[in-house]
Structures are given as structure tokens and as C-alpha cells.
Amino acid sequence: MRLGIYGGTFDPVHLGHLVLAETCREQCRLDRVLFIPAGIPPHKQGRELTAGQLRAEMLEFAIAGQPAFSVDQSEIKRSGPSYTVETLRRLRQEHPDDELFFLMGADSLAEFSLWREPREIAELASLIVVNRGTQAPPELESFIPLLGAAAVARIQRVTMPGIDISASDLRRRAHAGLSLRYLTPRAVEQYLIEHRVYS
């Protein structure tokens, strides 16, 4: 099985996240995509996150109807910071016969040297790098010293429509009582309103 792994805070999940996952699934012939909401992201420890269970529930609503998508809650149930390399080690043990693919935006690749054990991440899973809006991914050759030539050769580039939606803007809009229609799935929009998540 070709298993895609898509981590993030998803605070909240929006259409940009879903289009990215579906585009990667289609272009890279992935059998499944696991959405993994982060527990405590190391690079966002100063920001207060919405409770992990709420973010996971919103993801479940968002992906309903796409049988290739599922939510893995392991990081939100783990104590301490959520490091991608630790999650991939676990997934490699649980799926020893599967090919793992880690989905990431071009902006994340540009900061990859700041992640914990980037070389091991690239050894545990092939990287799929997606453009962020109109931002092109950095030149892959520049990552050979960091990741090694073999890992860089396995990196796949995926181009998706330039959808300029951010979770921070959705939080701001929800807090101000503005419409979220067509920015996130209708079920997620209703969940946010009903539970007053950002109000």
C-alpha cells in the first residue's frame, strides 16, 4: 500500500488542506492518506491551540465521504511535543510492508533544516512537496547536504491550484462572526458555530 501521511495543526481544517491531500492522492497514486493532527507542535509551542479532540472531530467531518482519507489521533493523545520523526518511526513499525509518503508544503520544506532529524524523516518516508499558493518549492539540489542524494532523488513535486486560505484567517473570521462559507466544508462550519470554537 502507498500510504500518505499529512500532519498539521488543522486549527481548523479548511478546503486548502483537503485539496492538497486529494491532489497528492491522485497525482502520486496514494491508496490512503492519514491526517494526523498535532498534539503540541514544537514550532508553535507559544500559541494556544484548540483542544486536539475538537480538531480531530472537525477533520472527521471534513473527510466524510472520502474512503481513502482517515484521521490518526496518536499525536494528540501523546504527551509532550509532537515530532514528525517519532510519528514516522511508529508508522513504519505498524506498516512494515507499506510505502510511506510524507505530504508537506513548499514553505515547510524551506524550514526543514529546523526540524528534528530531517534526514531520518526523509529515510522513513518519501517526501511529497506541494506548492503553497504561487510560491514555488526551493531548488531540491540544495537539500542534498541535509538529506542525502538518495532521499532528494525520491522527492516528488505536486502542483495544486493556488488556494489562498489560511487557518489563522478562518480563526479571525470566526472570532469576528464573519462567514466561513466556501472556505471550509459546511459540516466543519456548522461545528464551529455550534461549539463556538473561536468565539
- Confidence (pTM): 0.94
pLDDT, tens only, 169-179: 999 999 999 99
Separation between Cα atoms, residue 192 and residue 4, nearest integer Å: 27
Please state the φ and ψ torsions of residue 192, each to the nearest 5 degrees.
-60, -40
What are the domain boundaries of the chain? 2-164
- The pLDDT of residue 132 is 75
- The pLDDT of residue 20 is 96
Sheet strand arrangement including 126-130: 69-71, 32-37, 2-8, 99-105, 126-130, 156-158
Separation between Cα atoms, residue 118 and residue 33, nearest integer Å: 21
Instruction: Collect the ranges in the chain with pLDDT lower than 50.
Output: none
> 102 has which bridge partners?
5, 127
- The pLDDT of residue 47 is 73
CATH number of 2-164: 3.40.50.620
Q: Are 56 and 73 in contact (CB under 8 A)?
A: yes
- The pLDDT of residue 46 is 65
Q: Are 38 and 71 in contact (CB under 8 A)?
A: no
